[in-house]
């Protein structure tokens, strides 16, 4: 799925576990710099702030282009401005809160040119779209078993390049990731299994394996094209059929994927009411599952756009046009009598 060697992948208890093993494994020092993007996920940014408070590092945020992609020129400027101090560029491939796809490959090129380590959070892209770590140019990639992979909760994985593992040690080790070789010495396990822990749900690990095989087959058959086709159709219908009823697509970006985010006029801070209406089949229409993404999930992005929360529909290849009909009908019923 990642186009890498098996010994460059470790199976972890979650994407958070995998991500923390990488980020907290860096030997941070006062004055070090971490560079990220404006759309960064809330949990990740909280960790950056903790590192800043604990070690005195500086967190720099790359600007975005008017089209909503990462500004690669500004990223290069930051890496040049802080030359010798940037220990990590850490970015999310697809945010949890919209359908934009950041140009991760472009970020990888800039990082390689400046010889800076690049960590990619692929939680929303793994299983949805083809991934090739060489083309992405990342040194590390982390993702979850659930979401688009549709595996069980309680599993995730990390890709660590062999070059990165020559110097990087996980944030913490146990008897599985390391070996106690003498009373005052230990050694780190070879390969990416160093990022694993002994205590791991074998059922979740097996489920992740099945999900990965299914995703590989679907992606090879062109599932991502189908996902984008459905998402584009839904965006067009929300704007064309419901725009007059106050429904607005919130996605912005040069490249969009299967996540469709939208708002309903007058419901900022209350989009849970819309979600609940759709979930119970309000208006007599089939029940539809959508989720709500809130400002703390991506504060810099939402504050900059004046958003408190948005509704999120995640299209997958098993969806069809009838599902879009149900969502549009449910939203029309909500605006007609549910608001």
pLDDT given for residue 227 in this prediction: 98
Count of domains observed in the chain: 2
Is residue 339 very low, low, confident or very high in pLDDT (cuts 50, 70, 90)?
very low
Residues 75 and 211 occupy one common structural domain:
yes
**Angle between helix 42-55 and 15-23 (nearest 10):** 30
What mean pLDDT comes out for the span 31-35?
Answer: 98
For 58-94, what is each residue's pLDDT tens digit?
Answer: 999 999 999 989 999 999 999 999 999 999 999 999 9
pLDDT given for residue 226 in this prediction: 97
Is residue 285 very low, low, confident or very high in pLDDT (cuts 50, 70, 90)?
confident
What mean pLDDT comes out for the span 4-17?
Answer: 97
Percent of the chain surpassing pLDDT 70: 99
For 218-241, what is each residue's pLDDT tens digit?
Answer: 999 999 999 999 999 999 999 999
Contact 143, 126 (CB under 8 A): yes
What mean pLDDT comes out for the span 116-129?
Answer: 98
Boundary (domain end) residue, out of 218, 240, 265: 218
What mean pLDDT comes out for the span 152-164?
Answer: 97
* 191 burial level (CB within 10 Å; 0-12, 13-18, 19+): middle
pTM of the complete model: 0.95
Contact 227, 257 (CB under 8 A): yes
Q: In which residue are the tokens 């199976």 written? A: 11
Is residue 336 very low, low, confident or very high in pLDDT (cuts 50, 70, 90)?
confident
Contact 96, 40 (CB under 8 A): no
Is residue 288 very low, low, confident or very high in pLDDT (cuts 50, 70, 90)?
very high
pLDDT above 50 for 279? yes
Residues 281 and 187 occupy one common structural domain:
no
Residues 75 and 193 occupy one common structural domain:
yes
**What does the mean pLDDT of the chain come to?**
96
Boundary (domain end) residue, out of 218, 242, 272: 218
Question: 325: closest CA among 218, 251, 241?
Answer: 241
Query: Taking the mean position of all CA atoms in its chain, how far away is CA 306?
Result: 22
Q: What is the CATH number of the domain that holds 107?
A: 3.40.640.10
Is residue 97 very low, low, confident or very high in pLDDT (cuts 50, 70, 90)?
confident
Percent of the chain surpassing pLDDT 90: 95
The residue segments making up the domain with residue 56 are 6-218
pLDDT above 90 for 282? no
Q: Is residue 182 part of a domain?
A: yes
pLDDT given for residue 164 in this prediction: 98
Is residue 96 very low, low, confident or very high in pLDDT (cuts 50, 70, 90)?
confident
Residues 271 and 328 occupy one common structural domain:
yes
For 182-191, what is each residue's pLDDT tens digit?
Answer: 999 999 999 9
Q: What is the CATH number of the domain that holds 253?
A: 3.90.1150.10
pLDDT above 60 for 203? yes
pLDDT above 70 for 275? yes
Residues 228 and 180 occupy one common structural domain:
no
Q: Is residue 146 part of a domain?
A: yes
């Amino acid at each position: 799925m990642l186009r890498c060697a098996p010994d460059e992948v470790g199976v972890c208890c979650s994407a958070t576990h995998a991500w923390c093993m990488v980020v907290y494994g860096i030997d941070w020092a006062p004055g070090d710099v971490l560079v990220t993007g404006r759309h960064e996920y809330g949990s990740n940014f909280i960790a950056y702030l903790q590192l800043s408070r604990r070690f005195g590092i500086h967190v720099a945020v790359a600007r975005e282009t008017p089209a909503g992609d990462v500004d690669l020129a500004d990223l290069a400027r930051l890496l040049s401005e802080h030359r010798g101090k940037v220990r990590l560029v850490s970015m999310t491939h697809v945010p949890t809160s919209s359908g934009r796809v950041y140009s991760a490959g472009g970020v990888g090129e800039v990082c390689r040119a400046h010889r800076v380590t690049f960590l990619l959070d692929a939680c929303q892209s793994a299983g949805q779209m083809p991934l090739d770590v060489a083309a992405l140019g990342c040194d590390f990639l982390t993702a979850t078993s659930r979401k688009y992979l549709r595996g069980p909760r309680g599993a995730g994985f990390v890709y660590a390049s062999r070059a990165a593992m020559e110097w990087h040690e996980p944030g913490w080790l146990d008897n599985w990731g390391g070996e106690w070789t003498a009373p005052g010495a230990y050694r780190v396990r070879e390969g990416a299994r160093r990022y694993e822990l002994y205590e791991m749900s074998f059922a979740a690990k097996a489920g992740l394996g099945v999900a990965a095989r299914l995703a590989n087959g679907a992606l090879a058959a062109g599932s991502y094209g189908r996902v984008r086709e459905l998402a584009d159709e839904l965006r067009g219908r929300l704007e064309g059929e419901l725009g007059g009823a106050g429904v607005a697509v919130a996605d912005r970006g040069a490249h969009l994927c299967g996540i469709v985010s939208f708002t309903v006029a007058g419901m900022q801070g209350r989009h849970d009411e819309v979600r609940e209406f759709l979930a119970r089949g309000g208006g007599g229409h089939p029940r539809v599952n959508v989720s709500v993404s809130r400002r703390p999930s991506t504060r810099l992005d939402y504050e900059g756009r004046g958003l408190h929360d948005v509704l999120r529909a995640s299209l997958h290849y098993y969806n069809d046009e009838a599902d879009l009909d149900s969502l549009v009908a449910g939203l029309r019923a909500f605006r007609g009598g549910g608001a």
